[in-house]
Copies of this chain bind each other. A is one copy, B any other.
Amino acid sequence: MKTTVIVFGDTTNKNSIQLEKEYIKRISPFSQIEYITLKEEKMGKTISEEQIKQKESDKFFEIFNKLNKNKNIFLVACHVQGKHFTSEQFAQKLKDTENQFAGITFIIGGSLGLSKNILEKAHLKLSFSSMTFPHDLFRTFLFEQIYRGFMINNNRKYHR
């Protein structure tokens, strides 16, 4: 199964960049992994928040529709109001997806969150926490949980 993580805006903190890299490297024996950064739309007086979200949504679907041309990608929208999983439940979801789909794509929104269109198209809206975290840290959480999920599914010991 191919794992794709799509985000808006670069990670700027150098320690977060290093942590991301470490987890991506650790995931790679379990899954092909692709990390795609899309440019965040600039806010401004002449553009509404809805318009920004719509533009970001269009950019996302331009990439995702290519990935998903065989309609076999499971789409997960990271969303603060989404469903909460334990790490074991999340690992089970990865396993089920591996059995039924060719790939899994995670989308993390820009600072305004995800468009209604993405939220509706996603197979799963996943919440890591009721709390808001900075993008840099949030990406590290996601990569770490993907790694943890693969470790659980492969019965590999991984300390807490």
Contacts and interface: CB of A to CB of B under 8 A. Distances in A.
Interface residues of A, number: 28
A70 interface: no
Interface string A70-106: 0000000000000011110010000000000000000
A159 interface: yes
Nearest to A159: B111
A135 interface: yes
Contacts of A129: 84, 128-129, 141
A132 B144 CA distance: 10
Interface string A138-154: 00110011001000000
Contacts of A155: none
A132 B111 contact: no
Given A16-B19, A18-B15, A145 B160 contact: no
A22 interface: yes
Contacts of A159: 111, 134
